[in-house]
Chain A
Amino acid sequence: MILTGIEDEDKWLAEGIASIRHNAFYMHRALEANNLRDALKCSALMLSELRTSKLSPHKYYDLYMRSFDELRKLEMFFKDESKHGVSIVDLYELVQHAGNIIPRLYLLCTVGSVYIKSKEAPARDVLKDLVEMCHGVQHPVRGLFLRTYLAQISRDKLLDLGSEYEGAKDTVMDAVEFVLQNFTEMNKLWVRMQHQGPVWVKEKLEKERSELCDLVGKNLHVLSQIEGVNLEIYRDTVLPRVLEQIVNCKDELAQCYLMDCIIQVFPDEYHLQTLETLLGACPQLQPTVDVKTVLSRLMARLSNYAASNADALPEFLQVEAFAKLSSAIGKVIETQVDMPIVGAIALYVSLLSFTLHVHPERLDYVDQVLGACVKKLSGKPKLEDIRAKKQIVALLSAPLEKYNDIVTALTLSNYPHVMDCLDDETNKVMAMVIIQSAMKNKTCISTADKVEVLFELIKGLIKDLDETAKDELDEEDFKEEQNSVARLIHMLYNDDSEEMLKIFWVVRKHIMAGGSQRLPFTVPPLIFSALRLVRKLQGQDGNVVGEEPVTPKKIFQLLNETIEALSSVSSPELALRLYLQCAEAANDCDLEPVAYEFFTRAFILYEEEVADSKAQVTALHLIIGALQRMNVFGVENRDTLTHKATGVIVLTYSIITVSCPCSFVPKTFTVSSFHLSFSFCQHSAKLLKKPDQCRAVYACSHLFWVDDQDGVKDGERVLLCLKRALRIANAAQQIANATRGCSGPVTLFVEILNKYLYFFEKGNPQITSGAIQGLIELITNEMQSDSTTPDPVSGAFLASTIRYIQFQKQKGGVMGEKFGPIKV
């Protein structure tokens, strides 16, 4: 059915075009011959095509344009009285004899245009006449185009009328009145167009209607261009009349388009000054009108205006723009009860954007917008709609981006309330946005209060919000979240130690609620942050102020408790490392009992929790390395700890081998080390491999020799360690022989040799050049023996060691003498 209709339409259009061409041709002939009568006749015939009601607006437009072009030529002819000899007044009357109203009015308008220009009658009178005559055509399409024609040809005359040149206020008002009238009628016709066709073409019709919107909107454009239309006229006449028509027409398409048109076409200063009127129309619009887009566009324009004109800002305050917009939005949301939540939030996003642009320093305004949003969302279940969630994230991100400083966001009292409206997942997303903003801008959060607010905001990351719903979080995502929190902890800082300690307590309180999965991520940065404070306090030794000064001791207590929490949630290796870090720091503060306590805890963890042998080796090196650097311990404490360290390695050895008894008897056999060795026997399943034992033992040799001025230098014990290491290395060789039928690599021996050289150089009297010589020979024999597989690594190692000895020999002086006896 419809298809046939279209085909027919095309046919009719083609016919119409042909007819116009035909008549135009004869009209031209008449014009050339200065034959007014014939020209009028032909043009009337031509214009008859515009009487059709068969065409859709789109196709009618085609005919209209062609006619328009032809009428220009006619107009030129009319202008030149010498050609046709008729006065304009008479001409005006003459054309009214045309038979049908359409051609009659088109011709009348054409003459009218010339008439106005001639000034033989007041422009106002002619215009009034024309605009009222057009009432005669009530058919929507035909009427609309007729009035369009009138608007088009009258345009330049109107602008002249309205200009400062021409005249008094009166002429401006005449022009305004004319346009307003034409506009009103055109809008009515345009709205009526939708009722034109049968129901099933309604959609198509609506589409075509919307394509013609500019015909109506042009009138507003003209109004804005009339020079004489100042703020007063706009405010008192133009705007009220236009709004009246918009509201009364009750048509969604028209209202939407025209509201937008007003906003785009008239200057921003006018909008500011008529804000209340403009906004007042919004609730009166049809409920289906997308008011939020209208308001958003208005706010966007005003924002730009503010951005490009700094001196306009007082004006904004003076007209109370924010308050008016805020209240208008509130009204719209209230009246349009069916507006989906995403629409309301989008409005608040626009308002917030406006506020941030125009009044960035008014945090109270910003907070107000957030508060309004909270009010809207309160009492409702958590948001489901993805778009709504996105809008909230946009709402919350806007202040962060604007101020580049999350501390400012932290002062907005409604900020956390908005976050609370989010579901858990989106809450976390927003928390990450906040953290990333802080990291990007390197913001420093410096008071405990602000930290409290911050951690409340990001609580979705810090702990499980909903106890029951432990959703399967991707491991990678979880790690990323926790690492972000860890990084954030480094941004919390204050020069004042007391405030810093308060901050620790706040952070600790929050992360402790995080559960076992989170602690390994969040505890370490807190520990190190605290250690930095300890170091700072060290430097201020004695300059304590305040009633309850912050002391390293206090901090160590806090650290102890915190790390304890970590060790109870199966991160023993991490806890061990942190205990050692604290021990070293306590050493530097001269707090012997504190350092001892930390070491004890580290040992306990080692014995009871560290099971993996590779982990044990690392842990041992850390314990030995740390212990080696301690200078705070008195003899007894140092001995106890040293025995513990060696005992932990050595006692294991004594259990499994038969041939070599443990000849290293602790000189002071304290209760603790006895306890330790007994408990360790029970854990004999955790054995170190021979090479690892060997290396750990010779590392222990350094515990007895510290190169400092008052460091311990116990040559005997050093030698005992090295000899023990040799025995273990021997045992390793024997095991290798037994299991593989050939000796293992001699690397261990070369390592021990190097250690001998180390202490030899340092001047340990127990280490003789003879011993070194013996060791070299032992190694060389081993390497040359049949049962040893040649090993390039050990070979190279030995070679470079020999080279070193030679180098030392060649040094001359004391060193050269020392090394002299060693033959290589």
Chain B
Amino acid sequence: MVLVLALGDLHIPHRAPDLPAKFKSMLVPGKIQHIICTGNLSIKEVHDYLRTLCPDLHISRGEYDEDARYPETKTLTIGQFKLGLCHGHQVVPWGDLDSLAMLQRQLDVDILVTGHTHQFTAYKHEGGVVINPGSATGAYSNITYDVNPSFVLMDIDGLRVVVYVYELIDGEVKVDKIDFKKTTAPTHSAH
């Protein structure tokens, strides 16, 4: 059982002062094995805070990030799954699942984690799963109205991943979960 925290688009301090208190109290160091962050933290303080939760931190660059050295895309393997990470402002039209599926094919990953729209989605298609953890602070977005703060926790176990989404709605944290199973991976050509 491997726990992966996926979150992003915090936009601290441009659009939000801080993570919601209820999220902060839930995110305790030492419980999570990996953190993947879609970007737009956007300051070093947030980076350092995430570091305290888990040393294995992966971040892709958002257009407001103070640190310009974060990569545009990143891929990593956790257990049986290959994950891809990209903020998403690079994929036009923004939030378009077919275009995101193209990126997924390009990165050749089972799970693509992307952000920018501040809207939680978890979408399964032929090539795999696209997950958008939304905005962890509920930051303003032109694309999504009435953003609720949200983040995702993935439990990767063998060929199965359970995606838990935590959303702060009217002051209460609501949890939902979605199951994905990976069919045994076909071997890729020309490696």
CB-CB < 8 A to A750: which residues of B? 106
Instruction: Find residues 570-586 in chain A having any chain B CB closer than 8 Å to their own CB.
Output: 577, 581, 584-585
Check B14 against A800 for contact (C-beta < 8 Å). no
Check B127 against A804 for contact (C-beta < 8 Å). yes
CB-CB < 8 A to A804: which residues of B? 101, 105, 126-127
A802-819 interface bits toward B, Cβ cutoff 8 Å, 1 = contact, 0 = none: 011001000000000000
Residue A274 CB within 8 A of the other chain: no
Check A628 against B92 for contact (C-beta < 8 Å). yes
Residue B98 CB within 8 A of the other chain: yes
CB-CB < 8 A to B29: which residues of A? none
CB-CB < 8 A to A799: which residues of B? 188-190
Q: Is chain B's binding surface mostly helix, strand, loop or mixed?
A: loop
Check B99 against A758 for contact (C-beta < 8 Å). yes
A626 to B12, CA, bound (A): 22
8 Å CB contact of A800 from B64, B96, B108: B108
CB-CB < 8 A to B158: which residues of A? none
8 Å CB contact of B92 from A614, A702, A751, A803: A702
Residue A535 CB within 8 A of the other chain: yes
A795 to B108, CA, bound (A): 10
B126: min CB distance to chain A, Å: 4
A796 to B84, CA, bound (A): 14
A345: min CB distance to chain B, Å: 33
8 Å CB contact of B43 from A483, A625, A626, A796: A483
CB-CB < 8 A to A521: which residues of B? 13
Check B105 against A525 for contact (C-beta < 8 Å). no
Residue B191 CB within 8 A of the other chain: yes
Instruction: Find residues 126-183 in chain B having any chain A CB closer than 8 Å to their own CB.
Output: 126-127, 139-140, 142-143, 145
Stretch of A108-116, A220-228, A484-492, A557-565 contacting B (4+ beta carbons < 8 Å):
A484-492
A521 to B42, CA, bound (A): 12
- Identity of the chain A residue whose Cβ is nearest the Cβ of B12 in the assembled complex: A487
Check A624 against B92 for contact (C-beta < 8 Å). yes
Check A532 against B188 for contact (C-beta < 8 Å). no
Residue A542 CB within 8 A of the other chain: no
A796 to B102, CA, bound (A): 12
Check B190 against A795 for contact (C-beta < 8 Å). yes
Task: Knowing A528-B15, A584-B142, A758-B99, say if A797 contacts B105 (CB, 8 Å).
Answer: yes
Task: Knowing A625-B94, A629-B94, A799-B189, say if A528 contacts B14 (CB, 8 Å).
Answer: yes
Residue A432 CB within 8 A of the other chain: no
Check B190 against A577 for contact (C-beta < 8 Å). no
CB-CB < 8 A to A758: which residues of B? 98-99, 102
8 Å CB contact of A490 from B17, B45, B105, B142: B17
Check B64 against A577 for contact (C-beta < 8 Å). yes
8 Å CB contact of B189 from A626, A629, A702, A796: A796
Instruction: Find residues 775-824 in chain A having any chain B CB closer than 8 Å to their own CB.
Output: 790, 792-793, 795-797, 799-801, 803-804, 807
A564 to B134, CA, bound (A): 31
Residue A512 CB within 8 A of the other chain: no
A sample of 11 inter-chain contacts (CB < 8 A) reads: A479-B43, A525-B13, A588-B142, A624-B92, A625-B94, A628-B94, A629-B94, A707-B93, A796-B188, A796-B191, A801-B105
